[in-house]
Chain A
Amino acid sequence: MAAILELKGIRKEYPGVVALDDFSISFEEGEIHSIMGENGAGKSTMIKIITGAIPADCGKVIINGRAFEKLNPAISKENGIGAIYQEFNMIPSLSVAENIFLGDKTGNAIMPDFKFMHRRAGEIMNELGVNIDSRRMVGELTTAQQQLVEIAKAIGKKCRVLIMDEPSASIAMAEVENMFRIVRQLKASGVTVIYISHRIDEVFQISDRVSVMRDGRYIATKPIRDVTKKELIAMMVGRELTESFPGRSAPAGEPVLEVENLSGNGDFHISLELRKGEILGLGGLVGAGRTELAKMLAGDIRPSSGEIRVNGRSVRFRDSSQAIEAGIGLVPEDRKLEGVFLNYTIEWNIPVMSLKSISKFGVIDFAKAKALAEEYSKRLMIKTPSLRQLVRNLSGGNQQKVAVAKVLAAKTNIIIFDEPTRGIDVGAKQEIYRLMNELAEQGMSIMMISSEMEELLGMSDRIVVLHEGRVSGELKKEEFSQERVLELSSGI
């Protein structure tokens, strides 16, 4: 078999990070080739380079024997590369057929040829063995159906190599089988599918070959028959833990937060406990229910069943204010969207969750507000010339500190960090880690959701791993290993 797509010696550097380093890989015609690697291994950078979304610093992409040094999205498409991302790229208010031919010229200069569009869309659907009326609006379809339309769209554009980025993440389990059937059909018609997934079971079900990436480097490609799950995980984690984590020795106290059989939006049944003075790491894949759990604990999503107990007392939160009153604060995943008020000053942001308690008859005691802002910005070492600085002008790390300060100032003692160091530079990461340790030593309890293996292993006293809405295992400090966390995340 001939290689239809090859990457040779690709290097891509972002300020401060090498995303891909001397990366070479080759895909054969008509194969289903899975790519595995941890977060930050460089998978998305690889996709972007293949689709021409970003240029490589050096190296070349060879499509069908033609070498390209400067690829752009148009050239990539012309040469038969297609990609389906987690976020679909369709217009909900247009019909299936119109979406399939979006951007293609059919008919004459004035009128698109709808007849042709519907006929051809119907043909493609037939080929795929999918039963979706091409006249229906995309917005009316289920997510799984929309995904099929995305595939049809790629076929309509005569795509020879189809990249699928986490295709199973957004659809239900039952629908994955159908998607697999179609992927196999694509393969039978000679299309190469590059299948990117965190879910190891799927990779074994669907792929012909699997390649592993780690830290922006190519590790190995193996026929799927020749590897076991454990071997694959071992290849993924061969990574050295370079970052150092501040040490800490604190005995955990009595449980302060207990969660029993909690479920909310979707199929979750989560039970766990958090003890006084400990840092509990919460591992698992995206979509395992970690963020939902955090939002239920913070009162932002109402659980549909199950129980939350704070200091032994059963609680039911109507909104976030009640969770804060009970002492639970959330430092959300998306700092800019949910964590801070970018357009306001530090002085404005820090007391915002405690305003009621520092007000008399509704009038804010500004001396107290200022004192709070000063106290917490000092304690968290927020680097700024003045407290009157707008938060939008701070670095990512300092913005995160403001988000934390806000929560701390509200006198919470259970703090949930959702991806605490995402998008923060190395130095600031260390400061956030040190801060978390300090808080735990002062007797606060911390729950940390993290997709970064190093952080999870380095910071936690105990790790609970979620898999598809359930706790798949708990690891004590002495049992910590990258393999175990990955295995539990994959439900092995």
Chain B
Amino acid sequence: MKRFFDFCRRNLAWVLLAVCCLIFSLFSENFFTVRNILNILNQNAYVMIAAFGISFIMMSGEMDLSIGYMMSMTGVLSAIMSSRLGLPLPLVIALTIALTVFMSILNTLISHMLGITRMFVSFGTMTVYQGLSFIISQSKTISGLSAGYKYIGQGALFGSGFTFALLLTIVLGVAVSFVLNKTYFGRYVFALGGNPDAARLAGINVRKIQIYIAGVAGAFLGIASLVLTARVGSAAATTAMGTEFTVISGLLLGGVSIRGGEGKINGCIAGILLIGLLGNGMQMAGMNVYWQFVAKGAIMLATIGFDTYQMQRRTAQLNARKESA
């Protein structure tokens, strides 16, 4: 029994996901169909890809709030490149990814220069990116993407509801999991999140690794932005708005600690899907959009509360052990 609870606690996001699926399938017979499940997965593909990138940042103990607008801005730019400038697809992809890598690294460089955390830098840059994406798009929706571009988000494989984007997500997920768990770069990410001072003294060049992390995260955001734009079929300054919220709350639900140094990719996937599923479920239940915001916010707070509670409990246990020793 204790084992069972331990398992549940460690895989909280998966357990909650299963419970939600069960509840939804009781209320709606359309829920537990291959079609709907694939639909939910496809819808959330870009969020998962963005989350893979941000997981590097959060596991290293940092945070970024500008990702939504970063993706909006690059989405607008890549849509312009594809539709108005008619650039070839590989070039559009390369430029889009290069752009997010640059923007993400810029956040880290500013944080090094000013000596503040990336979160506060992103607080500023998110507004800058927001403004820029409205200026660049002239507040219009940019459509007319090339067919190849749209395939990134909509292309179906095997003539089924299984999209190219979903395949991409799976491949990237495996890659991220490999990098985080098997490479020394991955260990350094956890080292920074676990104890930056010890990391520095262990000979890890903290700033350099932080820049690498920003670069990797940027690349994932670029891919996520491409997938999103391709899926929607157009881009506007508001397209990716709120992605930061979904990603961060999904990651927190999935067991990434807000203090860094903890987290697993499979948990992240479950967390993101859970948030997506709740959105989907609330939609299907006909819940008012504004109430959905209230619910999502409450879930995020509850998750952070749970994370903090676990942390405090662990500390308390440790202190108790010290007392008795």
Give residues in A with beta carbon < 8 Å to B: 15, 298-300, 319-325, 330, 332, 337-344, 348, 352-353, 355-356, 359, 362-364, 366, 392-393, 395, 406, 410
Cβ contacts A to B, 5 pairs, < 8 Å: A319-B200, A321-B205, A338-B197, A341-B261, A364-B183
Q: In whole angstroms, how far apart are the Cα atoms of A67 and B262 in the complex?
A: 53
In the complex, what residues of B have CB within 8 A of residue A324's CB?
203
Q: With contacts A341-B194, A352-B191, A392-B318 known, is A363 near B183, CB below 8 A?
A: yes
Q: Please state if B201 and A352 are interface contacts (CB–CB under 8 Å).
A: no
Q: In whole angstroms, how far apart are the Cα atoms of A363 and B179 in the complex?
A: 8
In the assembled complex, the CB of A276 is this many whole angstroms from the nearest CB of chain B, namely: 23
In the assembled complex, the CB of B308 is this many whole angstroms from the nearest CB of chain A, namely: 15
In the complex, what residues of B have CB within 8 A of residue A341's CB?
191, 194-195, 198-199, 261
State the total of A-B contacts with C-beta under 8 angstroms: 78
Q: Please state if B198 and A338 are interface contacts (CB–CB under 8 Å).
A: yes
Q: In whole angstroms, how far apart are the Cα atoms of A287 and B201 in the complex?
A: 21
In the complex, what residues of A have CB within 8 A of residue B202's CB?
320, 352-353, 406
8 pairs of A and B residues whose beta carbons are closest in the complex: A321-B203, A355-B184, A320-B203, A341-B194, A324-B203, A362-B183, A338-B197, A353-B202
* Residues 2-56 of B contacting A (Cβ, < 8 Å): none
Chain B residue total in the interface (Cβ 8 A): 25
Q: Please state if B318 and A337 are interface contacts (CB–CB under 8 Å).
A: no
In the complex, what residues of B have CB within 8 A of residue A298's CB?
201
Give residues in B with beta carbon < 8 Å to A: 182-185, 187-188, 190-191, 194-195, 197-205, 261-262, 314, 318, 321, 325
In the complex, what residues of B have CB within 8 A of residue A356's CB?
184
Q: In whole angstroms, how far apart are the Cα atoms of A406 and B199 in the complex?
A: 12
In the complex, what residues of B have CB within 8 A of residue A366's CB?
182
Q: Please state if B318 and A393 are interface contacts (CB–CB under 8 Å).
A: yes
Q: In whole angstroms, how far apart are the Cα atoms of A319 and B183 in the complex?
A: 22
Q: In whole angstroms, how far apart are the Cα atoms of A338 and B197 in the complex?
A: 5
In the assembled complex, the CB of A33 is this many whole angstroms from the nearest CB of chain B, namely: 35
Q: Please state if A359 and B184 are interface contacts (CB–CB under 8 Å).
A: yes
New contact pairs (10) apart from A320-B202, A344-B194, CB-CB < 8 Å:
A300-B201, A321-B203, A321-B205, A323-B203, A352-B187, A352-B202, A362-B183, A363-B182, A364-B183, A410-B203
Q: Please state if B198 and A319 are interface contacts (CB–CB under 8 Å).
A: no
In the complex, what residues of B have CB within 8 A of residue A320's CB?
200-204
Closest to B184 in A: A355
Closest to B323 in A: A15
Q: In whole angstroms, how far apart are the Cα atoms of A324 and B203 in the complex?
A: 7
Q: Please state if B201 and A343 are interface contacts (CB–CB under 8 Å).
A: no
Q: Please state if B205 and A319 are interface contacts (CB–CB under 8 Å).
A: yes
Q: Please state if B203 and A337 are interface contacts (CB–CB under 8 Å).
A: no
In the assembled complex, the CB of A347 is this many whole angstroms from the nearest CB of chain B, namely: 12
Q: Please state if B318 and A343 are interface contacts (CB–CB under 8 Å).
A: no
Q: With contacts A341-B195, A362-B184, A364-B183 known, is A395 near B325, CB below 8 A?
A: yes
Q: Please state if A343 and B261 are interface contacts (CB–CB under 8 Å).
A: yes
Q: Which of B188, B194, B198 contacts A339 (CB 8 A)?
A: B198
Among B185, B194, B203, B314, chain A packs the most CB atoms within 10 A around the CB of: B203
Q: Please state if B182 and A340 are interface contacts (CB–CB under 8 Å).
A: no
In the complex, what residues of B have CB within 8 A of residue A340's CB?
195, 198
Q: In whole angstroms, how far apart are the Cα atoms of A99 and B317 in the complex?
A: 37
Q: With contacts A337-B195, A337-B197, A352-B191 known, is A364 near B182, CB below 8 A?
A: yes
Q: Please state if B205 and A364 are interface contacts (CB–CB under 8 Å).
A: no
Q: With contacts A321-B204, A323-B203, A344-B190 known, is A362 near B198, CB below 8 A?
A: no
Q: In whole angstroms, how far apart are the Cα atoms of A337 and B184 in the complex?
A: 22
Q: In whole angstroms, how far apart are the Cα atoms of A477 and B318 in the complex?
A: 42
In the complex, what residues of A have CB within 8 A of residue B321's CB?
393
Closest to A344 in B: B194
In the complex, what residues of B have CB within 8 A of residue A364's CB?
182-184, 187
Q: Please state if A338 and B201 are interface contacts (CB–CB under 8 Å).
A: yes
Q: In whole angstroms, how far apart are the Cα atoms of A359 and B184 in the complex?
A: 7
In the complex, what residues of A have CB within 8 A of residue B261's CB?
341, 343-344
Q: In whole angstroms, how far apart are the Cα atoms of A342 and B191 in the complex?
A: 10
In the assembled complex, the CB of B110 is this many whole angstroms from the nearest CB of chain A, namely: 22
Q: In whole angstroms, how far apart are the Cα atoms of A353 and B185 in the complex?
A: 12
In the assembled complex, the CB of B98 is this many whole angstroms from the nearest CB of chain A, namely: 22
